[in-house]
Amino acid sequence: MILDIISKKANNYELTKEELETILLGYLNDEVKDYQMSAFLMAICINDMSDSEVFALTDIFIKSGDILDLSFIDKIKVDKHSTGGVGDKTTLIVAPLVASCGVPVIKMSGRGLGYTGGTIDKLESIPGFKVDLTEEEIKKQAQDIGIVITSQTKDLAPLDKKVYALRDVTATTNSIPLIASSIMSKKIAGGADKIVIDIKVGNGALIKTIEEAERLSSLLIKIGTYYQKEVRTVISNMDRPLGHNIGNKLEVIEALDVLKGNAKGELLDLSLKLASEMVSLGKEISEKKAREEVVENLENGKALNKFLEFVKYQHGNIDKLEVDAKVYNIKANKNGILKDINALAIAKLSEKLGAGRKDKDDKIDYNAGIVIKKEIGDKIKEGDILASLYTNIDNKEFNLERIFEIS
């Protein structure tokens, strides 16, 4: 039976929901083996899925675990998701911005793996910050201050977790239907009413082309419609890192800088865009009107105060945010114009400095990371500092090739 299902997909026939359930629930219960699931996932990568197969797959993922009930909050709950990028600390900026406008943000976030960072690691780099809240604590905090970011309390979409771990090691991560059902199952199980999804495109992202991003966007919106959840997507560039700081504590510092009104550029622009979309959905107002509120709360300090209130409520001590690491400066070896900063190469370097995990049980160094000192288009003189590396690893021979393109 399992072989028939794999072979049906390999021959590009549409599967029924029952057939999808048979193979996927079999995998959850360890009756279907990793090698069988790998062949099945590869058949999906090659032959794609119809919309009804994608809806069925999403449903099977959702029902494999708990569904969070946030109905105790009588306002519209809007969640945000990013498909993952280098230096992406927008949640730290957007969540307090949105909450300061009166739209509740109750967010389950994850840890980083490989080159992608995770919001929970970033928050945990704040001394004392408590990331694992109980359901009672989540409810109380949501009612008291309207913003909660916590690691997963319940087992949300455990089948997606198991399938994702296998996709990661079988070159099946970049299938659009698999990505769409994976993201949407977690968001729906997480109790969101409406969802904003930041689709990253570029060499530092899972999605490499605008065409793929547009297809993913349309599929995410379709799945949302199927579940009567409004979904909006934003497509953003990930050929270059987002902002200047990469690495957990360094990213919190940069997010704080944005909230203090000290930053300009792509990170600020994207944060304002995502926050405006979320407030527009949460308050059912136009994006233009929402943007006015968001910008006002950034400028009058309400968003910053909401962030500080949130960190304090979860026992973090923001005053103790010194970066405890040795610093190595990378200097330019020629004159010219800075043409490019390669996101993927930066991510690999950051992992080598100690900021990322190769394996999910690895310890990471919250202090490690990179601060980029120059902008694309800047005139560079030989000897200028391009970036500072923060690390507690003694090897100074880090591979810096192909990170900065100067010509």
| C-beta separation of 178 from 61 below 8 A | no
Nearer to ligand URA, 184 or 275 (CB): 184
- Interface size with ligand URA, residues (CB under 6 A): 9
Nearer to ligand URA, 116 or 280 (CB): 116
Active site residue 269: no
Residue (of 139, 145, 165, 3) closest to 73 by Cα position: 139
Active site residue 319: no
Among 122, 167, 283, 306, which one carries the catalytic annotation?
Answer: 167
Residues written for the chain: 407
Distance (Å, rounded) from C-alpha 32 to C-alpha 40?
Answer: 11
Give, as ranges, the residues between 29 and 68 that touch ligand URA (CB under 6 A): none
Give, as ranges, the residues between 169 and 208 that touch ligand URA (CB under 6 A): 178-179, 182-183, 186, 206
83 binds ligand URA (CB under 6 A): yes
Among 81, 89, 122, 232, which one carries the catalytic annotation?
Answer: 81
Give, as ranges, the residues between 129 and 168 that touch ligand URA (CB under 6 A): 164
350 binds ligand URA (CB under 6 A): no
Among 80, 89, 186, 200, which one carries the catalytic annotation?
Answer: 186
Nearer to ligand URA, 206 or 323 (CB): 206
Nearer to ligand URA, 214 or 309 (CB): 214
Distance (Å, rounded) from C-alpha 232 to C-alpha 113?
Answer: 26
Nearer to ligand URA, 167 or 283 (CB): 167
Q: What does each C-alpha distance from 355 to 89, 243, 286, 308 come to in angstroms?
A: 14, 16, 39, 24
Among 160, 198, 239, 365, which one carries the catalytic annotation?
Answer: 160
Answer for which of 84, 118, 177, 282 binds ligand URA (CB under 6 A) is 84
Q: Closest distance between ligand URA and the C-beta of residue 225, in Å?
A: 20
Q: Closest distance between ligand URA and the C-beta of residue 358, in Å?
A: 19
Q: Closest distance between ligand URA and the C-beta of residue 189, in Å?
A: 12
Distance (Å, rounded) from C-alpha 190 to C-alpha 186?
Answer: 6
Distance (Å, rounded) from C-alpha 373 to C-alpha 327?
Answer: 13
Q: What is the CA radius of gyration of the chain?
A: 22
Q: Closest distance between ligand URA and the C-beta of residue 343, in Å?
A: 16
| C-beta separation of 59 from 160 below 8 A | no
Q: Closest distance between ligand URA and the C-beta of residue 197, in Å?
A: 9
Q: Closest distance between ligand URA and the C-beta of residue 9, in Å?
A: 18
Among 125, 182, 276, 350, which one carries the catalytic annotation?
Answer: 182
Nearer to ligand URA, 202 or 354 (CB): 202
Residue nearest to ligand URA (CB): 182
Measured in whole angstroms, how far is the alpha carbon of residue 334 from the centre of its chain? 35
Active site residue 167: yes
Paired tokens of 40: 């099945």
Contacts of 56 (CB under 8 A, 6+ apart): 15, 16, 17, 20, 21
Nearer to ligand URA, 28 or 393 (CB): 28
Place of tokens 């065409």: 211
What is the full DSSP assignment across 172-199? -TT-HHHHHHHHHHHHHHTT-SEEEEEE
Q: Closest distance between ligand URA and the C-beta of residue 297, in Å?
A: 29
Q: Where are the beta strands (DSSP E) in 192-295?
A: 194-201, 230-237, 245-246
Active site residue 357: no
Active site residue 81: yes
What is the full DSSP assignment across 13-65? PPPPHHHHHHHHHHHHTT-S-HHHHHHHHHHHHHH---HHHHHHHHHHHHHTS
Catalytic residues: 81, 160, 167, 182, 186
Q: Which residue ranges make up the site for ligand URA (CB under 6 A)?
A: 83-84, 164, 178-179, 182-183, 186, 206
